[in-house]
Chains A and B, each alone.
Chain A
């Protein structure tokens, strides 16, 4: 069995997922994630060495569309749901590279 997920790992994953938690939440999350991952560890009972993975149950491939352009949406419509917009742009806190 894999070692239980640690609080540090939970913090690393939270950053990757752009989430933040206070100290109590982190404890609860670490505990619950540990429990769930232990349960998931059950999968290791199975030898899957020669089993191909399934990412799709469909017997479908090669779905394409023709290269024809249609009208785009009006800019007012596109920006209607924006939390912050200005001069036709979506506005976000300064991005520093």
Chain B
């Protein structure tokens, strides 16, 4: 049996039934990684020995009949910007190439508490800055549906690994769409919870007011399981919200009879691929057929979201990345004449061009004389964008739209045109600016056989309705069962 093809909940059932062991699962996925990772290049680090050791321990507990958490013995892989004690955490950057954190991120600790099997760390755009995973300092991850194409980004390694069955579940991070967009482009499930729902402690910061950790999985059930494992208040993160966390598996019900679904006119933009629009319209019709009430809504400031984002995110990033100075950890350039020279050479050689571009943009936007025109202005427009959602959510329970205006594009297609690359996140960025939960689930393929993602955005801290909508759709379609052939 090809265990690597199964979902976490399927594997869980077999583990508990005594049909398989965690070591067998782990070996199966490790073999799959060996077989396909040379093609997709999703992993920066694989911790084979640690994984097998953790699996063996779970198997002993299973044999002894000890009570175990739901995800015990299930392999999980992490985007390489979630700090893992003793395991390199590189952010796919030269500047952190040899960095080994002395501590665990809160989510890593929570997964350890679940006794998951840690498989390894996944490739990404350097410091999560990008939409294609081409900005990794180490390698370009490929889309398993078409190896000539990008997997999306910045959690491209995570999305590609899940799509290629080289991981069972993964955690990524989403600052402007970095979970949802690659999930859409790779035909898997990816969710960004409400800002404040998951602790950011130990998540290497890109843009602190936008970053949020979330799962990338093969189906909605696994997504709910992972959410159960990682959500919750963390006293180490001031921006983590102290609200009770519901049991998200309770949302895995097929019931959208009462649901009002908002379709924002502004999200069917010029330049959207017709196949993408077609698949999404079909999905909306499907939801309507399942009993949901479909309502047109307006989010009038959507067209300003990208511009707003490209002030706020780089500004925060310019400060967040100032700590990479060659003093306490990470790369330091050699043969420098003095301190300033050391700083400049270290940072110029340690960072890739997209990271430098955003540091420059953010530094400029905050610099003397420009703050009001750029940063303050963006913060005000952010208020307007949030108000759009507040008003829309007075009429509807969730908002449904495409995740990405296009399918996966060709490697190299947009690398020399940063602005075009930025615009590929046009449909995901608003939810980050407003802090809302959003999921992307597969809703079919384009004529080129590339996955299309359906995005469902909910009210703050209402992941439950988002999951319920996604689950109902998923259970009535087969899109999530389609897998690339990896030829």
Contact A93 B102 (CB under 8 A): no
Chain B residue numbers with a CB within 8 Å of A16 are 363, 367
| Interface residue tally on B, bucketed by range | 35 or more
**Is A56 in contact with B360, judged by CB distance below 8 angstroms?**
no
Contact of A18 among B99, B344, B353, B386 (CB under 8 A): B344
Question: Closest approach, in angstroms, between the C-beta of A89 and any C-beta of chain B?
Answer: 11
Q: Is the CB of A40 within 8 A of B383?
A: no
- In the bound complex, residues from chain B placing their C-beta under 8 Å from that of A44 are 377
Contact between B384 and A20 (Cβ–Cβ < 8 Å)? no
Decide yes or no whether B34 CB sits under 8 A from chain A: no
Contacts of B331 in A (CB 8 A): 83
A7 an interface residue at 8 Å Cβ cutoff?
no
- In the docked arrangement, what's the CA distance between A20 and B325, Å? 13
Whole-angstrom CA separation of A76 from B247 in the bound complex: 42
Among A33, A43, A57, A81, the residue within 8 A (CB) of B329 is A81
Closest to B321 in A: A17
Do A81 and B99 have beta carbons less than 8 Å apart? Answer: yes
Interchain CA distance A41-B381 in the complex, whole Å: 12
Chain B: minimal CB distance from A25 (Å): 8
Give chain A residues whose Cβ lies under 8 Å from the Cβ of B81: none
- Min CB distance A46 to B, Å, is 6
Q: Are B345 and A35 in contact, CB atoms less than 8 angstroms apart?
A: no
Q: Among B72-80, B235-243, B283-291, which stretch is in contact with chain A? A: B235-243
A13 is contacted by which of B306, B341, B367 (Cβ under 8 Å)? B367
Per the bound structure, the CA–CA distance linking A83 and B382 in Å amounts to 40
- Report which of B241, B327, B332 forms a contact with A58, defined as CB distance below 8 A: B241
- Known A36-B419, A40-B311, A73-B102; judge A83-B329 contact (CB<8 A): yes
**A residues in contact with B304, CB < 8 Å:** 42-43, 45-46
Binary flags per residue of A8-31, CB closer than 8 Å to B gives 1, else 0 = 011011101111110001000100
Give the Cβ gap from B132 to chain A, nearest Cβ, in Å.
16
Q: Which residues of B contact A96 (CB under 8 A)?
A: 338-339
Asked whether, in the complex, the Cβ of B435 is within 8 Å of the Cβ of A46, the reply is no
| Known interface pairs A20-B348, A57-B434, A58-B241; A51-B329 also in contact (CB < 8 Å) | no
List residues of chain A with CB under 8 Å of any chain B CB: 2, 5, 9-10, 12-14, 16-21, 25, 29, 32-33, 35-37, 39-46, 48, 51-58, 60, 63, 65, 73, 77-78, 80-84, 90, 92-96
